[in-house]
Amino acid sequence: MATGWLIFIAIVLIVVVLFQVTRTLDLVGQLRGGERTTVEMTRFHAMLGLIFIALGMIGFFYSFPLFSDRMVDKHSSNNAIIISKMFLITLWVTGIVFVITNVLLFWFAWQFRHRPGNEAVHFAHSNKLEFIWTIVPTIVLTGLVVFGLQAWTEIMGPAEEDATVVEVTGQQFFWSSRYPGPDGKLGPRDNDLICADNPLGIVTREWVEHRRVTLAGSKKLNHVGEIEVLQNREKEIQELIKQYTAIIDGSPNKYIVAATQDTLALIEKELGKIPGKITIREKALDRINKKYTEEYIAAHADEFTWGYDDPMPSEVHVPVNKQAYLKIMALDVLHNFYIPHMDVKMDAVPGMPTSFKFTPLITTNDKRQELANNPAWSIIEEGDDKPRYAKFNYEVACAELCGTGHSAMKYTLVVDSQEDYDKWIAAQASKWSQVAGSLKLENGFSKYAPVPAPATPMATTTTTPSDTITISLK
Amino acid sequence: MSAETSTHAHHVDTHAHGHDHHDHDHHHEPGFIRKYIFSEDHKTISKQFLITGIFWAIVGGLLSVLFRIQLGYPDADLTWMKPFLGKWISEEGQIVPEFYNALITMHGTILVFFVLTAGLSGTFSNFLIPLMIGARDMASGFLNMLSYWFFFLAGVIMFISFFLATGPASGGWTAYPPLNALHDASQGGVLGVDFWLVSMAVFIVSSLLGSLNYITTIINLRTKGMKMFRMPLPIWAFLLTAVIGVLSFPVLLSAAILLLFDRNLGTSFYLDAINLAGEPLANAGGSPILYQHLFWFLGHPEVYIIILPAMGMVSEILSVHSRKPIFGYTAMIYSLLAITVLSFIVWAHHMFMTGMNPFIGSIFVIFTLIIAVPSAIKVFNWLTTLWRGNIRLNPPMLFAIGFVSLFISGGLTGIFLGNSSIDIRLHDTYFVVAHFHLVMGVAAFFGMFAGVYHWFPKMFGRYMNQTLGYIHFWGTIAAAYLIFFPMHWEIALPRRYYTHSGFEAFSGFEQLNMFISTMAIISFALQLLFVFNFFYSIFFGRKVREMNPYGATTLEWTTPIRPGHGNWEGDIPEVHRWPYDYSKHGRDFIPQTEPLTQYEIEHGEHGDEHDSDIIKSEEHKG
Ligand code: HEM
Ligand SMILES: [Cu+2]
Ligand SMILES: [Cu+2]
């Protein structure tokens, strides 16, 4: 502590001394006459300007190569190649302007500094010059726009017919994915059907039924619906409020009173929200009953089967050299499906499906081989058995602020060779057809969860609706 | 456009009329409260804006120091901050993620709105408009005072939100819904966002009152002879800034109010199909993207609200200290006009990756890159202003030159971002952060510093300490470049990340981040040097003894050294020429108040051969 104070005092003293020095410098300058000081000061700082810009440019050219592979040398997807090219062109154009204008700026400050014998010239404008520097940037920028828009249309244009379709969904704070399955069709989704067992709200006959039961309950299946759970909780809280109030009124211990008041406030808040929650569920149930009538299901019989075979693996796989088409969704707030290596980036917007396409050009395995040549990747880190490159994976991140866990929304992309991919997707399909099968048991209703999950309490959705399915499959 | 309209707007403020306006011993001296607190004098209000702006700059800067510690020194033990920050510091002594998000949110909000909008425009529009156009005060001193006090109130509300149990807003300075529309999606969303929105609404009222006043004053109260095309460039900049503000801030107000409704009245302007952590919400039919359109309809013009005043002041300062007319005065005005108009049709370049129709994106690419043209014109004109000048490098001039450098460096990266295809790679990464900090953040600060150092003698009748000013300049420009230039290399890193350590793809930047953070802390410390110099010099600085210490042509230097309420003691001077007659006809400068001689042709009246006597001076030399 004492040394802390000593250091503090020392710093204060140094600052005071330095300040006195600057004051003296100022005063001396004044005494010696403003003009002479101005000339000297101007010379000194113009010189500093030259040094500054020289060092700055050296720093620029020195540090650029250190990181340039991060900036332009991307080649893992067609997008990356197109964008790297655009980036490089723009880098050259702007780089030249950057160097010339910045150097001129500080050089002029030196060259035309105030000194005896130097006179300013009354040069107020020149149509010719101004014309030149209107027209030249216009032409250059037009060029950039033309190239840029070509690249843009290429990347954002419609997807190919046979592209690999993957649906990805973001929510706080994880990604999930879904594939069309052997029938090649993604089953439709409906937010009203979302529940812990069906986190994406996939529409099939069973899921509709399932949601009816989880909302309204069923005597036959001995299941209490969410609506009833909430109503019970409402009554329970009203009971509790009476008890707590009695404690508060009666207890002589002020700590107990304070603690009880806190709890009371909490449950009162909870109570306030319950009617809203009940209404939302009643309306959802109403919509479900109105929409999914037997006639409706019969009329859309096809669509109702699409969802059966949709695999929902825990990472995204795509085959190499073939276009991948991402359908991007969000359940709660904005997210952004970002694959740094592939130059894939697209917002996930609740209520508004978006899409993005890319063609991966290097498989995960090949990328690992590529990295094996890089010394930084060949090291074996402490506590690891394999070198870094062997563990390399293309990563997916979130690039739109979505709350506390934003920086933790990691997901994995695996680029397979075509054979590997075919194997993988086949395995996924068979896994998930089992799930679908178990779903269809008992005449379209297999308990509540499609897999024997440890009796998930349906009550007040405290658990994250994520992993019921995926985890239990592993 | 010949601006005959100006002329006789010879408004005389009632309580200024005919009195002797010497320093302190005025017999109508208002009481302390009317003079320093609820003052209607534009000069006092300007100082109120400035000092409040400095306060907020320190707060906003401190916040950035905190989150830079998290980014650069994630393992640092901050347990010692626990007494001040409580639960925002974890048991292990780290900043918690929610607090990190609150820090970046408040940092952005405070610096963009409170410092670089109110602090900058509020200070200099207020101070310079009446002094430079020859008016005794603003059109409405009362509204002007209200403008400041609304700003103050907005600040109070924002400040209180720091002390909420659930913390201040934490969803980014752009406050996108649904994150910011829901009470349960983040802690800051519980109550902080409501404070944020109310504060912004009050702030917008302040800004509108100010802007309307600036516009009215400039249009109506110019002294005799002060045609529009004889106005100094800062005045043009302030005028257009105010116009942008009046047209765009109301849109943000609507956006904010609708968001308040969505939050508290159950409307669904911005919300649709939401299931938050398993809990379905009732909202349906709205669009989160709508908010972004409304926000950026202000948001993009806002960045020009921030930079135009700086551009105007820098133009003036470069000219005065080069002893040369600003090059291309009319081009400077038309480029300002072009920027003003274009700034309203580029907003969606912030939204290329929102799933917007790519064709619409293309249109915005075109407009966005067009806006680079007037920006380029300005840069070349500034450079040419220095060319063959007689440059005095004092602190204001250095900051003005620094501004140009930063504006170039940051503006050029805009050309990457504006091209939507490249923006796929760059959107929401540190490249964007580097871009806007150079071009807007630091550049606007440099404009502000240039202005403060330059007009301090007029504001307080004393000089700031030059040597400290020099140290401040070199330290700040070096630190600014060392912070934000290498940040471009972090192109892969997504912004608004509490930590990048979970990702292999984002690794390898630990040392760079540490370096940047160190520089950020140093640069914050350097700013305290300025703050000290500023307050010290107000009371103890060397006294100004000449009316026109820089040999400038503009009207503010014809007022007494410490002008009283009403600015000029006798009649307001009349203007006879443009403000940039430097080094003309062998004279160092010719004040605006000096009538044209018989054979003299005013600048801009008859094309360039006539008013540019470069040729003559060439002969003269040879
Ligand atoms: C040469 C002209 C400029 C162009 C073409 C340009 C382009 C862009 C683009 C496209 C973005 C969005 C990047 C993204 O989020 O993906 C952006 C961001 C930004 N620009 Fe510029 N810009 C230019 C000049 C300026 C100027 C002069 C300022 C301010 C004075 C400015 C301030 C900003 C700010 C504040 C942001 C980031 C806002 C945010 O997301 O938080 N830009 N710029
Ligand atoms: Cu996120
Ligand atoms: Cu913009």
Query: Does an H or E element contain B275, and which?
Result: strand B275-276
- Looking at residue A455, what is its pLDDT? 38
Q: What is the pLDDT of residues A158-211, one digit of tens each?
A: 999 999 999 999 999 999 999 998 888 999 999 999 988 888 999 988 888 888
| E strand or H helix at A413 | strand A411-416
Q: Whose CA is nearest to atom 7 of ligand 1?
A: B414
Q: Is A283 on the interface with B (CB under 8 A)?
A: yes
Is residue A223 very low, low, confident or very high in pLDDT (cuts 50, 70, 90)? confident
Q: CA B133, CA B1: separation in Å to the nearest integer? A: 19
Ligand with the closest atom to the CA of B172: 1
Question: Is the pLDDT score of A425 beyond 50?
Answer: yes
Whether residues B325 and A134 touch (CB distance < 8 A) is answered with: no
Instruction: For residue A329, list its beta bridge partners.
Output: A169
Least distant ligand from the CA of B424: 1
Which residues on chain B are in Cβ contact (under 8 Å) with A283?
Answer: 282
Which residues on B lie below 8 Å from A108 (Cβ)?
383, 386-387, 389, 391
Q: How far is the CA of B349 from the centre of ligand 3 (A)?
A: 6
Nearest residue in A to B289, CA atom: A349
Percent of chain A with pLDDT over 70: 91
Residue A392 three-state SS: coil
Nearest beta carbon to residue A102 from set B408, B491, B583: B408
Q: In whole angstroms, give the CA distance from residue B407 to residue B404.
A: 5
Interface touch A196/B505, C-beta < 8 Å:
no
Q: Is A369 on the interface with B (CB under 8 A)?
A: no
By CA distance, what is A464's nearest residue in B? B277
Structure tokens given for B336: 């300002």
Partners of residue A23 in chain B, C-beta under 8 Å: 465, 467
Decide if B171 and A401 are in contact by the 8 Å CB cutoff: yes
Task: Tokens 């602190």: give the residue.
Answer: B395
Q: Candidates B296, B419, B435, B448: which one to mutate for ligand 1, based on the most atoms within 8 Å of Cβ?
A: B435
Q: What is the model's pLDDT at position A32?
A: 67
Q: What is the mean pLDDT of residues A402-421?
A: 96
Q: Is the CB of B368 under 6 A from ligand 1?
A: yes
* Closest residue by Cα to residue B352 from A327, A343, A126: A343
pLDDT at A147 over 90: yes
Instruction: Identify the pLDDT of residue B29.
Output: 65
Q: Which amino acid is at B285?
A: G
B416-B420-B425-B426 Cα dihedral, nearest 10 degrees: 50
Asked if A355 and A328 touch (Cβ cutoff 8 Å), the reply is yes
Q: What is the model's pLDDT at position A308?
A: 83
For residue B436, the model assigns a pLDDT of 96
Ligand 3 centroid–CA B211 distance in Å is 21
- Asked whether A63 and B489 are in contact (CB, 8 A), the reply is yes
Under a CB-based contact definition with an 8 Å cutoff, are residues B379 and B363 in contact? no
Q: What is the predicted pLDDT for the residue at A113?
A: 94
Query: Residue A321 corresponds to which tokens in the numbers above?
Result: 């050299």
Distance CA B319, CA B582 (A): 8
Of B549, B392, B389, B399, the closest CA to residue B470 belongs to: B399
Task: Please identify which residue in the block is written with the tokens 């350590």.
Answer: B501
CB B497 within 8 A of CB A332: no
pLDDT digits (tens, 9 = 90+) for B520-556: 999 999 999 999 999 999 999 999 999 999 999 999 9
Burial classification of residue A299, based on how many CB atoms lie within 10 Å of its CB (0-12 exposed, 13-18 middle, 19 or more buried): exposed
Instruction: Please identify which residue in the block is written with the tokens 């081009």.
Output: B331
> Going from the N-terminus, what domains does chain B have, and what CATH number goes with each?
41-273+281-555 (1.20.210.10)
What are B199's two structure tokens? Answer: 């504060």
> Does A1 contact chain B (CB < 8 Å)?
no
Superfamily of domain A313-438: Cupredoxins -  blue copper proteins (2.60.40.420)
Write down the pLDDT at residue B23.
Answer: 42
Ligand 1 near B60 CB (within 6 A): no
- Tell me, what's the pLDDT at A257? 87
What is the percent of chain B where pLDDT is above 70?
92
For chain A, positions 134-163, list CB contacts with chain B under 8 A.
Answer: 134, 137-138, 141, 144-145, 148-149, 151-153, 155-157
* Tens-place pLDDT, residues A15-58: 888 888 877 877 777 776 677 888 888 999 999 999 999 999 99
- Decide: helix, strand or coil at residue B6: coil
Which chain A positions have a beta carbon within 8 Å of B376's beta carbon? 133, 137
Contact with chain B for residue A395, Cβ under 8 A: yes
For chain B, what's the residue count?
Answer: 622
Ligand 1: which of B300, B306, B347, B349 to mutate, most ligand atoms within 8 Å of CB? B349
pLDDT at B336 (0 to 100): 97
CA B416, B417, B423, B425 torsion: positive or negative? positive
Q: Is the pLDDT of residue A137 over 50?
A: yes
Pocket test for ligand 1, best of B107, B303, B426 (most atoms within 8 A of CB): B303
Structure token pair of residue B519: 């520089």
What are φ and ψ of residue A76, in 5° steps?
Answer: -85, -10
Measured CA to CA, the distance from residue B35 to residue B564 in angstroms comes to 11
Report the alpha-carbon angle A271-A272-A278, nearest 5: 80
Tell me the angle at which helices B466-484 and B510-540 cross, rounded to the nearest 10 degrees: 160
Distance A136 CA to ligand 3 centre (A): 23
Helix, strand, coil share of chain A (percent; to 5): 60, 15, 30
From residue B108, alpha-carbon distances to A62, A87, A184, B104, B347 in Å are 31, 28, 46, 6, 18
Q: Which pLDDT band holds residue A461 (cuts at 50, 70, 90)? A: very low
Q: Is residue A279 helix, strand or coil?
A: helix
Question: Would you say the CB of residue B137 lies under 6 angstroms from ligand 1?
Answer: no
- List the structure tokens of A419: 């054979």
Q: How many other C-beta atoms can be found within 10 angstroms of the C-beta atom of residue A280? A: 17
Cβ B415 under 6 angstroms from ligand 1:
yes
Give the ligand at the shortest distance from the Cα of A401.
2
Ligand 1 pocket residue status of B379, Cβ below 6 Å: no
Interface of A with B in 65-94 (CB under 8 A): 66-67, 70-71, 74, 79, 82-83, 86-87, 90-91, 93-94
CB contact under 8 A, A48 and B474: yes
Count Cβ–Cβ pairs < 8 Å, chain A vs chain B: 385
At B407, is the secondary structure helix, strand, or coil?
helix
Nearest atom, ligand 1, residue B427 CA: 16
Contacts of B394 in chain A (CB under 8 A): 38, 41
Which chain B residue has its CA at the smallest distance from A172's CA?
Answer: B277
Rounded-to-integer distance, Cα B617 and Cα B622, Å: 9
* Residues A453/A196, Cβ–Cβ less than 8 Å: no
Structure token digits, residue A87: 């980036």
Asked whether B303 lines ligand 1 (CB < 6 A), one says yes
Residue B605 has a pLDDT of 54
Q: What pLDDT does B607 receive?
A: 43
Question: In the prediction, which pLDDT does B616 show?
Answer: 46
| N residues, chain A | 474
**B-chain residues near A40 (CB < 8 A):** none
Please report which helix (H) or strand (E) contains residue A164, including its range: strand A164-171
- pLDDT of A434 higher than 80: no
- Identify the pLDDT of residue A450: 41
Nearest by Cα to B320 from B220, B267, B389, B409: B389
Q: Which of A327, A346, A350 is nearest to A338 (CA)?
A: A346
Per-residue confidence (pLDDT) for residue A198, from 0 to 100: 86
Q: CA triplet A29, A30, A34: central angle to 5 degrees?
A: 90
Q: Are B224 and B7 in contact (CB under 8 A)?
A: yes
Nearest to B275 among A46, A276, A332 (CB): A332
Find which of B319, B339, B359, B391 to mutate to test the A interface (most A CBs within 10 Å of its CB).
Answer: B391
Specify the pLDDT at position A140.
Answer: 95
Probe target for ligand 1 pocket from B432, B433, B495, with the most ligand atoms within 8 Å of CB: B432
pLDDT at B123: 96
Name the minimum distance, in Å, from the CA of A124 to any CA of chain B. 5
**A25 touching B (Cβ < 8 Å):** yes
Query: How many angstroms separate the CA atoms of B168 and A412, rounded?
Result: 33
pLDDT of A321 over the 60 cut: yes
CB atoms within 10 A of CB A36: 11
Q: Which residues of chain B have pLDDT under 50?
A: 1-27, 606-622
A388, A377 Cβ separation under 8 angstroms: yes
Minimal Cα–Cα distance from A1 to chain B, Å? 13
Provide the 10 A C-beta neighbour count for residue B382. 29
**What is the Cα Rg of chain A in Å?**
34
Q: How far apart are CA A2 and CA B496, in angstroms?
A: 39
Domain positions in chain A: 1-27, 34-115+126-156, 188-306, 313-438
Could you list the beta-strand ranges (E) of A291-410.
316-319, 324-330, 335-339, 344-348, 354-358, 394-398
**Position A441 pLDDT exceeds 70:** no
Per-residue pLDDT tens digits for A381-394: 888 888 889 999 99
Average pLDDT, chain A: 86
In this complex, is the C-beta atom of A109 within 8 Å of any C-beta atom belonging to chain B? yes
Nearest CB to B500; choose among A70, A122, A407: A407
**CB B377 near ligand 1, within 6 Å:** no
User: Quick check: B465 and A23 CB within 8 A?
Assistant: yes
Look at residue A220 in the predicted model and tell me its pLDDT. 78
Residues ≥6 apart with Cβ < 8 Å to A350: A330, A331, A332, A333, A334, B178, B271, B272, B273, B274, B288
